[in-house]
Amino acid sequence: MPERPAGLARRLGVFDATMLVMGGIVGSGIFINPYVVAQQVRTPFLILGAWVVGGAVALAGALVYAELAARRPEVGGQYAYLRDAFHPAVAFVYGWTLLLVTQTGGMAAVAVTFARYFLEITQAPVSDALVAAMALAVLTIINCFGVRAGSNVQSALMVMKIVAIAALVLAGLLLARPAAASTAGFLDRPPSMDLVTGFGAAMTPVLFAYGGWQTTSFMAGEMKNSVRDLPRALLIGVTGVVALYVSVTYVFVHALGASGLAATSTPASAVMRSALGERGATFIALGIAISTLGFLSQGMLTAPRVYFAMAEDGVFFRGVAWIHPRTAAPAVAIALQGVVAIIITVSGRYEQILNYVVSVDFILFGMTGLSLLVFRRREPFSKGFRTPGHPFTTLCFVIASFLVVASTIYKYPSNSVIGLAILLTGVPVYFLWRGDKR
């Protein structure tokens, strides 16, 4: 098994890792996506059920990644799992899409969301693209000062997110006027394939909102004891987010009703406005801005470790593996991601890019789940965490991931083809790179 690069500083504990797990999940999705779910399934039981089932899938994924982290406690996380289970080309394609599309495109979109809420609060006479680019630049600089600086900022922002979500839940329960009692039953239509497909459509935005916990695995090489702390952080962090998400959704249904939730694209603002008037709406706008900024901070801290690992493996520019001698941070990898994200932000193409990579993201999730089956066959016994219920737990996660892929391809075939084409461009690039090295 390859050793951790000696130059990376191992300074993160279980609290830091838990905040990274939660910060990688909680962005703006939980404040907005419940209304999309309510448009697909129209009873409180089904709406809450979608978030509970989505949480179960996320928890299954966390259990899988927890064992993978114990088996491969290396920098790069998911990149290392795919490399060692299948082939270095598979891992390279993952890192390739992460840098060019998945991570940077997502960060660009979230940065613009932050900018819009920031400008709504401050009324500053500047463009949202400028604010978004500045936010990305500042976070890039902070993380170049070292893993401790980046982690401290991330942890502080995550604590503020939790406070904002707790305030939303309490205000919705105690101060907002409850919606009229629903006369609908548990189901909004008779048991049928139409009900199954409707619930499946509701699960897509739920699973997207739960995504992101896997990025903490990238930081394994900078944890004091990754074999012990990363599995704990994954389980504590994902369980905590499930509790937060189900609580928020319950408050939305309680205050707005199923039909009212489906009718508003800003349910968090609607609940806080009902509870506290315009001050409440301003407060939650600030909370969403902090939440998106924290999501950006987490992405800026974690994902560059993948590009660093690629460079260490000799399949990317060697300079990307450079470590700052004083801060022990992979500064070039961090700066590279920041520059690409800023370019996508100012180009205004992030929405199109995100449409292309939905299926790609979940293909790689499913592949990572399959990697645990490969490792279990090759190395039946290992020290450290073992996934409870394997292989059932693992297969549930893999199947859920591939069902999202199938659903996305069915609903958006042209976008999915473009996303798959972007992914496949990494294959010839990998072999050309390897050929040049030889």
Residue 216: name the closest of 66, 114, 107 by CA: 66
Distance CA 247, CA 225 (A): 32
- CB within 8 Å of 308: residues ≥ 6 apart: 5, 8, 75, 76, 320, 321, 330, 333
pLDDT digits (tens, 9 = 90+) for 389-410: 999 999 999 998 898 888 778 7
pLDDT digits (tens, 9 = 90+) for 351-366: 677 667 777 888 888 9
Residue 21: name the closest of 129, 158, 152 by CA: 158
Classify domain 17-437 at the CATH topology level. Amino acid/polyamine transporter I (1.20.1740)
Distance CA 114, CA 119 (A): 9
| pLDDT for 342 beyond 90 | yes
Higher pLDDT pick, 74 / 259: 259
pLDDT of 334 reads: 93
Structure tokens belonging to residue 46 = 């089904």
- CB within 8 Å of 105: residues ≥ 6 apart: 344, 350, 353, 354, 357
At 182, is the pLDDT very low, low, confident or very high (cuts 50, 70, 90)?
Answer: low
| pLDDT for 72 beyond 90 | no
**Residue 12, phi then psi, degrees to nearest 5:** -100, 135
Residue 275: name the closest of 393, 379, 166, 177 by CA: 177
pLDDT of 354 reads: 67
pLDDT digits (tens, 9 = 90+) for 239-281: 999 999 999 999 999 999 999 999 988 899 999 999 999 999 9
- CB within 8 Å of 159: residues ≥ 6 apart: 19
| pLDDT for 424 beyond 80 | yes
pLDDT digits (tens, 9 = 90+) for 290-318: 999 988 988 888 889 899 989 988 888 88
pLDDT of 8 reads: 67
Structure tokens belonging to residue 380 = 């039946």
| pLDDT for 431 beyond 70 | yes
Local structure of residue 3 (DSSP, 8 states): P
- DSSP letters spanning 285-317: HHHHHHHHHHHHHHHHHHTHHHHHHHHHTTSS-
pLDDT digits (tens, 9 = 90+) for 10-27: 777 888 889 888 988 888
- CB within 8 Å of 259: residues ≥ 6 apart: 38, 42
At 2, is the pLDDT very low, low, confident or very high (cuts 50, 70, 90)?
Answer: very low
| pLDDT for 124 beyond 50 | yes
Work out the mean pLDDT of the chain and round it to a whole number: 86
- Average pLDDT on 282-287 reads 92
- 353 and 361 Cβ atoms separated by less than 8 Å: no
pLDDT digits (tens, 9 = 90+) for 191-227: 888 888 888 888 888 888 888 888 888 877 778 888 8
- CB within 8 Å of 170: residues ≥ 6 apart: none
- 101 and 353 Cβ atoms separated by less than 8 Å: yes
Q: Where are the domains of the chain?
A: 17-437
pLDDT of 282 reads: 92
Structure tokens belonging to residue 194 = 């139409």
- 217 and 69 Cβ atoms separated by less than 8 Å: yes
Distance CA 170, CA 244 (A): 12
At 5, is the pLDDT very low, low, confident or very high (cuts 50, 70, 90)?
Answer: very low
Distance CA 114, CA 122 (A): 12
pLDDT of 435 reads: 67
